């Protein structure tokens, strides 16, 4: 009898130990990166892989510019700008101390550009107007890149290249407070309305590092005052896309929008949300393609069936702007937008590459069905913005 009881107790002990082991293993699996990723509902590593590889594609194919004794590639609003904003945030979220080589190259090339102001090849120089537009556009973008790099590095004052970039930005500022911007009649970045978009980038740059500017420097104070005045005076005439960018900048420069304007803009953005919880970038515009009068039509044929659907850039931009404006995660519009983003990071095959990304399609051309505008490397331009802003929106909720 004693032996049987001892055997029973031993069996129970073994069983309990086995159960405890299984529970422990289940806990470890739940805490593993793969399972943490699954519980979050989106693939951070996939987004990083996509953005890094797309920057490499841009480096390989973009226009090359003579810069000193070397060459650099031009900076793009659809690929480089969102990468600069999103990639450090993803690195922090993944608790990685390794700066991506693509980030390093972007900063190095921007540094070489600012070191050669006045001597390097402009973005475009085939007409006088394009020279002027190139100067203004690059001045803002170089400052954006280098200020963000300084912030990521934990600097409390601007580096020498950043100081040069900011000096050039103020030197190219127009009397109305904005900057000349590249206009090729392409929405939403390179158009007549792009001047306002560029001004919001300048405000976002300045708001990122307020400690970089002395309130005793009268030239800088005058430049900031002109910029704020321009953004406020032209606010009512802007597309919802441009105003969403202003809302994003106002998250760092609060005086750009008063409480009434901010509330009305948030309500307008929420009203454009679709039944599936997403937004479509096509619905955020009063798109003109730089035409002075109707009919406003894109330069090429577009696939309206794609543009009418919710997309990653429209949803990511709006949700991120709402979050930066202080709208809480449990707000119905925000939570539904986040759910849409979690459900729409898809496997995408373009050429020989496969990525896990969010899609958005061109407002100017049908790039999905081949032709001279549908080469594989161009097809994902707007999806670069989509993936970066989808990631920023999702990270803002964590």
pLDDT of the chain, 398 residues: tens digit per residue: 334 444 434 443 433 343 333 434 334 343 444 434 444 699 999 999 999 999 999 999 999 999 999 999 999 999 999 999 999 999 999 999 999 999 999 999 999 999 999 999 999 999 999 999 999 999 999 999 999 999 999 999 999 999 999 999 999 999 999 999 999 999 999 999 999 999 999 999 999 988 888 766 888 999 999 999 999 999 999 999 999 999 999 999 999 999 999 999 999 999 999 999 999 999 999 999 999 999 999 999 999 999 999 999 999 999 999 999 999 999 999 999 999 999 999 999 988 899 999 999 999 999 998 788 889 999 999 999 999 999 999 999 99
Let me know if residue 267 belongs to a domain: yes
Which residues does 142 contact at the CB level (< 8 Å), separation at least 6?
A: 75, 110, 113, 114, 165, 168, 169
Helix crossing, 44-61 with 381-395: angle to 10°?
150
Let me know if residue 27 belongs to a domain: no
Residue 181's alpha-carbon distances to 19, 29, 64, 172, in angstroms, are 66, 51, 19, 11
Cβ proximity of 227 and 206 under 8 Å: yes
Let me know if residue 28 belongs to a domain: no
Let me know if residue 169 belongs to a domain: yes
pLDDT digits (tens, 9 = 90+) for 298-313: 999 999 999 999 999 9
Let me know if residue 7 belongs to a domain: no
Instruction: Return the beta strands (E) in the chain as ranges.
Output: 64-67, 70-73, 346-350, 353-357
Domain count, the chain: 1
SS3 330: coil
Compute the 3-state secondary structure of the chain and give helix, strand, coil in percent, each to the nearest 5. Answer: 60, 5, 35
CATH code of the domain in which 76 resides: 1.50.10.20
Q: Bridge-partner residues for 353, per DSSP?
A: 350
Number of Cβ within a 10 Å radius of residue 184: 15
- Residues shown for the chain: 398
Let me know if residue 16 belongs to a domain: no
289: left (phi over 0), alpha (psi -120 to 50) or beta: left
Instruction: Spell out the SS3 assignment of 213-225.
Output: CCCCCHHHHHHHH
First CA to last CA distance, the chain: 59
Cβ proximity of 358 and 312 under 8 Å: yes
Distance CA 200, CA 172 (A): 16
Largest CA distance in the chain: 103
Distance CA 320, CA 181 (A): 25
Q: Bridge-partner residues for 355, per DSSP?
A: 348
Distance CA 390, CA 317 (A): 7
- Please report the pLDDT score of residue 219 as a whole number: 87
Let me know if residue 181 belongs to a domain: yes
Structural domain harbouring 217: 41-395
Backbone φ and ψ for 348, nearest 5 degrees, come out as -125, 130
Cβ proximity of 187 and 285 under 8 Å: yes
Residue 153's alpha-carbon distances to 88, 123, 148, 285, in angstroms, are 10, 28, 9, 36
User: CA dihedral in degrees (358, 363, 365, 366; nearest 10)?
Assistant: 50
Q: Which residue from 246, 309, 253, 255 is spatially nearest to 279, judged by alpha carbons? A: 309
Question: What ranges in 251-373 are assigned the alpha helix state H?
Answer: 259-271, 304-307, 312-324, 332-343
Distance CA 92, CA 106 (A): 19
**Exposure string over 260-282, b if 16+ CB within 10 A, otherwise e:** ebbeebbeebbeebbeebbbbbb
Backbone φ and ψ for 224, nearest 5 degrees, come out as -65, -40
Let me know if residue 382 belongs to a domain: yes
User: CA dihedral in degrees (245, 251, 253, 257; nearest 10)?
Assistant: 70
pLDDT digits (tens, 9 = 90+) for 62-121: 999 999 999 999 999 999 999 999 999 999 999 999 999 999 999 999 999 999 999 999
- Please report the pLDDT score of residue 19 as a whole number: 35
């Amino acid at each position: 009898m004693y032996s049987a009881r001892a055997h029973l107790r031993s069996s129970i002990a073994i069983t309990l130990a086995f159960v405890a082991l299984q529970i422990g293993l289940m806990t470890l699996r739940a805490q593993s990166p793969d399972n943490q990723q699954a519980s979050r509902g989106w693939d951070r590593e996939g987004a990083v892989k996509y953005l890094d590889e797309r920057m490499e594609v841009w480096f390989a194919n973009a226009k090359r510019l003579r810069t000193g004794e070397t060459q650099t590639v031009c900076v793009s609003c659809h690929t480089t700008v969102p990468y600069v904003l999103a990639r450090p945030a993803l690195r922090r979220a993944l608790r990685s101390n390794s700066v991506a080589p693509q980030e390093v190259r972007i900063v190095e090339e921007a540094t070489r550009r600012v070191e050669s102001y006045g001597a390097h090849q402009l973005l475009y120089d085939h007409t006088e107007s394009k020279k002027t537009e190139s100067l203004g556009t690059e001045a803002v973008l170089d400052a954006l890149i280098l200020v963000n790099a300084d912030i990521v590095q934990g600097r409390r004052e601007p580096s020498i290249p950043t100081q040069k970039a900011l000096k050039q930005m103020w030197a190219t500022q127009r009397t109305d407070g904005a900057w000349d911007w590249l206009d090729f009649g392409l929405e939403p970045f390179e158009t007549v309305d792009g001047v306002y978009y560029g001004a919001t980038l300048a405000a976002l740059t300045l708001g990122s590092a307020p400690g970089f500017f002395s309130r005793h420097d009268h030239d800088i104070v005058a430049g900031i005052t002109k910029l704020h005045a321009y953004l406020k005076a032209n606010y009512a005439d802007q597309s919802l896309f441009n105003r969403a960018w202003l809302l994003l900048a106002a998250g760092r420069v609060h005086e750009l929008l008063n409480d009434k304007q901010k509330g009305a803009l948030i309500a307008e953005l929420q009203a454009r949300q679709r039944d599936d919880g997403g937004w479509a970038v096509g619905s955020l515009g009063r798109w003109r393609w730089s035409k002075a009068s109707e009919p406003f039509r894109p330069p090429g044929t577009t696939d309206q069936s794609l543009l009418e659907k919710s997309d990653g850039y429209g949803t990511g931009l709006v949700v991120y702007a709402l979050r930066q404006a202080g709208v809480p995660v449990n707000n119905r519009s925000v939570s539904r937008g986040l759910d849409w983003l979690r459900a729409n990071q898809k496997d995408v095959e373009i050429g020989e590459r496969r990525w896990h990304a969010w899609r958005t399609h061109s407002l100017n051309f049908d790039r999905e069905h081949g032709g001279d505008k549908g080469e594989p490397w161009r097809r994902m331009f707007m999806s670069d913005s989509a993936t970066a802003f989808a990631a920023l929106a999702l990270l803002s909720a964590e």
